[in-house]
Amino acid sequence: MPFGSVLRIETVKPNDNDFFTCVAENGVGDAVRSTGHLKVYRIDREGNEFPQGYPNIIINPELKSVEKEKPTVMQCKADANGHKFEIEWFKNNVPVELGDNRRLTITDTGSLQIAKALESDYGRYECVASNEYGVAYSYAAMLYVRVRRVPPHFTIPPKREEVDPNGGVNLTCVAIGSPMPYVLWRDGANQLGEPVIGKNVLQLKNVTESKNYTCVASSDLGNIEHVGEVIVRAPGTPPRYVIAKALNPRTVEVSWLPPEKPNGVIQGYRVFYTLQPDLPIILWHNQEVQSNTNSTIITNLSPNDTYTICVLAYSAKGEGPVSQLITVITNEGSKCHVTLLWLNDWLILKCSTFSRKHALSDSITDGDVLI
């Protein structure tokens, strides 16, 4: 008992009728004393020695078992033949401190009400009724507090998340148990942040590489782990099989097939072309094309020049990669009959030109271009 002491006489005898003194000292100054008198009533054969108004326990507390953090009541009821009396509770021979948080209260009938049982409530309880005529003790009763022991387990394990390059993502991990486990994140052997109870959210920003992160839940009953994957999405593939064909000395037709793996829903295409391929592509001429169209015509070009051309697709997530560069000559006067042929995994562009020099003899020169 902090800052106090209890003298308990387990079996009271007639010669215990005497004065008892409590002495308190701490080595500083004189000791302080307090004296009380214990009066022992004798009971004759008829049992009529007790005075009117002496308290009597009517209902004694009984053995109880309660789950931790659940409510319970230790019963007690007393009577004093119409006289006033007070009820006090003892646990393990020490007065129960009710405190100010209302977790422990004494009801009007004298029962001890526990709103939320704690492990520290375990013990041997007695109800004591007292007034000016005397003191009556109830029979003692044990209160057992059951503690649920549940190993930690995940209710929301981390999931596989996909993120765009340089994007951000949150990994959520939730675990429960009794006692509640601490949850933390690890990157390999390195701990990320501080452990928190129950739920931990790992915030990742500017993600540039795919990586695994481990969520760990731990309590006195053990540790468990679960791996969360963060996958950085590939930027997509470029448009395929880009073909350019000179329609006349100032006009070129460009066609292509959509990307095999677009990065999101395609919103459109950009066709870039230039006479100076060493320049950054941002300085090239470009032409916007709608997403439902896979060809475009470029006009107002210079005759007899070699143009370098490429195509990219863009979506709400941004621009995808550009296609392979191709070249086309705005060759004045040459006429080309183009035939597309598939051979295994190759696309063959077959161009048959009629030579002006041998126009009268209809001489034909064939050329195959592998794309």
Among 49, 121, 132, which Cα is nearest to 92's? 121
Residue 163 β-bridge partners: 232
Q: What pLDDT is stored for residue 55 in this prediction?
A: 92
CB atoms within 10 A of CB 133: 18
Residue 274 pLDDT:
96
Q: What is the pLDDT of residue 196?
A: 95
Enumerate residues 6+ apart whose C-beta is below 8 A from 188: none
Percent of the chain with pLDDT over 90: 59
CA-based nearest residue to 49, from 86, 20, 17: 17
Distances (CA, A) of 106 to 75, 115, 186, 306: 10, 11, 49, 99
| Ramachandran angles phi, psi of 70, nearest 5° | -105, 155
What is residue 347's predicted lDDT score, i.e. its pLDDT? 60
| Neighbour-count burial for 199-227, b at 16+ CB within 10 Å, e otherwise | ebebebeebeeeeebbbbbbbeeeebebe
State both tokens at 78.
């007393």
Query: Residues 206, 239, 234, CA angle at the centre, nearest 5°?
Result: 25
Rounded to whole angstroms, the Cα distance separating 118 from 124 reads 14
Q: 337 burial class (0-12, 13-18, 19+ CB within 10 angstroms)?
A: exposed
- pLDDT score at 361: 36
**Residue 281 region, left (φ>0) first, then alpha (ψ -120 to 50), else beta?**
alpha
Q: What is the pLDDT of residues 221-247, one digit of tens each?
A: 999 999 999 988 777 889 999 999 999
Q: Is the pTM of this model over 0.85?
A: no
* Structure tokens, 312: 């990219």
Q: How far apart are CA 172 and CA 213, in angstroms?
A: 11
- Picking from 171, 211, 172, the residue whose alpha carbon sits closest to that of residue 188 is 211
Low-confidence ranges of the chain (pLDDT < 50): 339, 353-371
What are 176-202's pLDDT values in tens digits?
998 899 999 999 999 999 999 999 999
In order of their start, the domains of the chain are 44-144 (2.60.40.10), 150-232 (2.60.40.10), 240-334 (2.60.40.10)
